[in-house]
Every structure is written in C-alpha cells, then in structure tokens.
C-alpha cells in the first residue's frame, strides 16, 4: 500500500507552514476546509504522497483536544486503496474495529474511512480512495 498522506494537527498554521515550506522545502499542493472533520487542511507535496497540516476550526473540537498544548502532533496516517468498500469489508472480516463503516468525503473529494486505534496498535489509520480526478495509483 502507498501512503496517501500523513496528517499533523497544528496550533499555529502560518508558523508551521513557514517551517515546512521555507525550512524543510515542501511546496503547497492544496488548501481547503473540511467541515466534516472540523479542520482547515493544507497539503504539502511529498513525492506522490503528501503531508497534511490540520488546523482545528474550533479549540473545543476532538482534533484540538487530541493536540492539546503541543505546537504540532502526528494525527493519522492515510493509506491509499483502489476500492475502499472492498478494503473495509476485508478488514471487518478480519475483526478490525472501524470508526467509519461506510466511506465519507475527505479532502478534494476523496473517499475516506478511519479504522479504530484500538485495532491498530494505537495509531489512527485512514483508508483513502482518491477521487477519479486524481491519479489512482
Ligand atoms: Co487524512
């Protein structure tokens, strides 16, 4: 499986963006508000994958509470799948607990679903099926 993106929740989006672009050398791919997840997301190009910085829209949201006082904190890793419905079915058959039994819309129209960390060893894992307008590999 390919890594689609690694998501990092941040406290100060501008400062974090400056570090990732000016210091580390990443370039900005996309920026959009994902109301469903309560975040503004900025994607940075990392080869065929991306690093996604997430700024919580409110400080009372679960994402903000997860980050706490940290300036940045790794939030989830997302793996790209060609058929997210089939992948969810297969994982459920293997006894993996799912946060999302059915896929929902993520950034730029991708279909996404989260697996429950209690089944993954603690790391929040997202499955991501790119929308047809993007390359599916
Ligand atoms: Co994600």
pLDDT of residue 37: 87
pLDDT of residue 134: 54
Beta-carbon contacts of residue 36 (< 8 Å; ≥ 6 apart): 104, 105, 106
Strand, coil or helix: 63: helix
pLDDT of residue 109: 85
Give phi and psi for 117, each to the nearest 5. Answer: -60, -25
Give phi and psi for 104, each to the nearest 5. Answer: -130, 175
Residue 18 has pLDDT above 90, yes or no: yes
pTM above 0.85, yes or no: yes
9 against 105, higher pLDDT: 9
Q: How far is the CA of 7 from the centre of ligand 1 (A)?
A: 6
Q: List alpha helices for 1-137, DSSP H.
A: 13-18, 62-67, 84-93
Beta-carbon contacts of residue 20 (< 8 Å; ≥ 6 apart): 26, 44, 51, 53
Pairing of strands 49-56, 39-46: antiparallel
Task: Kindly state whether residue 78 falls inside one of the protein's structural domains.
Answer: yes
Q: How far is the CA of 134 from the centre of ligand 1 (A)?
A: 16
Task: Kindly state whether residue 82 falls inside one of the protein's structural domains.
Answer: yes
Q: How far is the CA of 41 from the centre of ligand 1 (A)?
A: 9
Q: How far is the CA of 98 from the centre of ligand 1 (A)?
A: 15
Residue 136 has pLDDT above 60, yes or no: no
135 against 45, higher pLDDT: 45
Task: Kindly state whether residue 134 falls inside one of the protein's structural domains.
Answer: no
Give me the domain span that covers residue 19: 2-129
Task: Kindly state whether residue 117 falls inside one of the protein's structural domains.
Answer: yes
Task: Kindly state whether residue 11 falls inside one of the protein's structural domains.
Answer: yes
Total domain count, the chain: 1
Task: Kindly state whether residue 137 falls inside one of the protein's structural domains.
Answer: no
Strand partners, 42: 31, 53
pLDDT range class, residue 36, cuts 50, 70, 90: confident
């Amino acid at each position: 499986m390919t890594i689609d993106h690694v998501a990092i929740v941040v406290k100060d989006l501008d400062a974090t963006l400056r570090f990732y672009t000016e210091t580390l050398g990443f370039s900005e791919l996309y920026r959009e508000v994902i109301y469903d997840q309560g975040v503004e997301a900025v994607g940075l190009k990392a080869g065929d994958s991306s690093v996604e910085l997430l700024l919580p829209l409110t400080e009372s949201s679960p994402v903000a509470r997860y980050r706490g006082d940290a300036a940045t904190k790794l939030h989830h890793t997302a793996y790209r799948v060609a058929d997210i419905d089939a992948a969810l079915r297969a994982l459920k058959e293997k006894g993996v607990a799912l946060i999302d039994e059915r896929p929902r819309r993520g950034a730029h129209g991708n279909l996404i679903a989260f697996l429950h960390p209690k089944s993954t060893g603690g790391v929040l894992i997202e499955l991501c099926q790119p929308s047809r307008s993007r390359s599916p590999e």
